[in-house]
Structure 1
Amino acid sequence: MTSNEQIAQMTKPAVVSPEEWQTAWQQMLVKEKEHTRARDALAAARRRMPWLEVEKDYVFEGPQGKVLLLDLFEGRRQLVLYRAFYDSNVYGWPDHACVGCSLGADQVSHLSHLHARDTTLAYASRGSQENIASLKRRMGWDKIPWYTITDEFDKDFGVDEWHGHNVFFRDENDRIFRTYFINNRGDEAMGSLWSYLDITALGRQEDWEDSPEGYPKTPRYKWWRWHDVYGKEDRKWSNLVDSAMVTLKL
């Protein structure tokens, strides 16, 4: 906790009137909107990255035994696979995974929203399934699929010495492509629905996005659901969205 002495020694900003504060905030809002537009443009550029076909049959160990990379998609079109450090060479083992990777796992939002956009999030480590299962129970990460790396996957995809998110796409013939990769400080912002979708090939799949021709899109907001009612039509919510869109002229 920051001490009172440290707080007292801080060089603090000016204290102003409500009117002056509002003016300062309006000036910052211009920069905030610029940042949002730049972030959207970056995500649009990611959707136009070339793809790399994955030609090896990578094998992982799951709770039910051996599985292939294709199985990690769980039948969905996209896979975000995070390499988390959890094995005997990692500080905290076996009670804990890497401190930074654990902080990231604590940030992961409810996975049903990702699933609704045809996207699976999974973790992979060198630790055994027995240890991973114990770790997940202890840390409250039961909902995150977590696999054991058994071959050269981590080396081949740049995550043998450092953490990172690899993003994959499964096409209509079950061919797998690597579409994006993010690591280092890029990992620290991950965890929210939007942060994951914005690094995928399909993006958020909403009608306002700048995506290549033919990419799937649905009306913004209408696909949103409470996490326990996905798969059910909600006409009342759709009508509320339509009314809001007219009012806001979106």
Structure 2
Amino acid sequence: MAPELWRRELADLRLEEKELTKAQDRLAAKRRRLPWIKVDRDYAFMGTDGPAGLADLFGDYAQLIVYHHMLKPNDPSPCEGCCMVADQMPHLSHLRARNTVLVFVSKAPIKEIEAFRAHMGWSVPWYETQDSFNTDFNVTSGFGLNVFYRDGTDIYRTYYTTGRGVETLGTVWTLLDLTPLGRQENWEDAPEGTPQTAPYQWWRRHDSYS
């Protein structure tokens, strides 16, 4: 293809990208206006510094993002997808600059969490859940993400998502979406001849790729 024709096609695509960006901005604005639900009980966690309640997870910040990682007790094969999410967490100082903190929670005992976190090289704060916190916030057997806001002593739940909604946390999928081969998963609309495999199955923990 001639360079000038390629630039014209890119310009047409850019118009669609801008429309998508504007649509995402409108959706984010709608998300910010969701009603809040007051959390009417406390929950029990165990962290590296000992027992903690939900309020303790906020630290000194008003907004709390909780990722429910699927690590379970004596886990022989921790979830590759959850681990990919963990690999992509930003330096948390950027969130804290906007009065926000991010933590992980799991059912695994804190000693196992800390050993696994050290092995994987992660620094995100991580807590063991010790009661019905996961199920009370729509995370039963899988993963999910909940957002909370603290106003004085009151805590409110403001958002929840799971499945592909969690992709907003990651850059791997965003970067692959920019490439000509895409994610190379068989659900994608891609040019003929693009190599593709089933989704999820190619994911590995970053220390497990051959």
Amino acid at match of 1:34: E
What residue is the counterpart of 1:42 in the other structure?
27
**What 5-or-longer segments of structure 2 have no aligned partner?**
175-210
Q: How does 1:125-140 map to 2 (within 5 A)?
A: 125-140=106-121
What residue is the counterpart of 1:160 in the other structure?
140
Q: Pick from 46, 54, 60: which aligns with 2:45?
A: 60
Q: How does 1:111-190 map to 2 (within 5 A)?
A: 111-141=92-122, 143-171=123-151, 173-190=152-169
Is the CA contact 1:109–1:191 (under 8 Å) kept in the aligned structure 2? no
Normalising by structure 2, report the TM-score: 0.79
Q: Give the deviation of 1:166 after TM superposition.
A: 0.2
Q: What's the RMSD between the two structures over aligned residues?
A: 1.4
Amino acid at match of 1:181: Y
> C-alpha separation between the residues in 2 aligned to 1:116 and 1:183?
26
Normalising by structure 1, report the TM-score: 0.67
- Give the aligned length: 172
What residue is the counterpart of 2:12 in the other structure?
27
Q: Taking structure 1 as reference, are residues 73 and 191 closer, same or farther at Cα in structure 2, changes over 3 Å only?
A: farther
Is the CA contact 2:44–2:53 (under 8 Å) kept in the aligned structure 1? yes
Q: Give the deviation of 1:159 after TM superposition.
A: 0.8
Q: How does 1:34-113 map to 2 (within 5 A)?
A: 34-88=19-73, 90-92=75-77, 97-113=78-94
Is the CA contact 2:73–2:109 (under 8 Å) kept in the aligned structure 1? no
Is the CA contact 1:165–1:183 (under 8 Å) kept in the aligned structure 2? yes
Q: Give the deviation of 1:55 after TM superposition.
A: 0.6
Q: Taking structure 1 as reference, are residues 134 and 89 closer, same or farther at Cα in structure 2, changes over 3 Å only?
A: closer
> C-alpha separation between the residues in 1 aligned to 2:161 and 2:3?
41
Q: Give the deviation of 1:91 after TM superposition.
A: 4.9
Q: Give the deviation of 1:188 after TM superposition.
A: 2.3
Q: Taking structure 1 as reference, are residues 120 and 191 closer, same or farther at Cα in structure 2, changes over 3 Å only?
A: farther
Q: Deviations over 1:13-36 (max 9, x none)?
A: xxx100000000000000000010
SS at match of 1:105: helix
Is the CA contact 2:58–2:101 (under 8 Å) kept in the aligned structure 1? yes
Is the CA contact 2:144–2:162 (under 8 Å) kept in the aligned structure 1? yes
Amino acid at match of 2:44: V
Q: Give the deviation of 1:107 after TM superposition.
A: 0.8
Q: Deviations over 1:115-144 (max 9, x none)?
A: 100000000000111111111111010x20
> C-alpha separation between the residues in 1 aligned to 2:170 and 2:39?
25
Q: Taking structure 1 as reference, are residues 44 and 177 closer, same or farther at Cα in structure 2, changes over 3 Å only?
A: same
> C-alpha separation between the residues in 1 aligned to 2:154 and 2:62?
11
Is the CA contact 1:78–1:119 (under 8 Å) kept in the aligned structure 2? yes
Amino acid at match of 1:175: D
Q: Give the deviation of 1:180 after TM superposition.
A: 0.4
**What 5-or-longer segments of structure 1 have no aligned partner?**
1-15, 196-250
Q: Give the deviation of 1:161 after TM superposition.
A: 1.4
Residue identity over aligned pairs, in percent, reads: 42
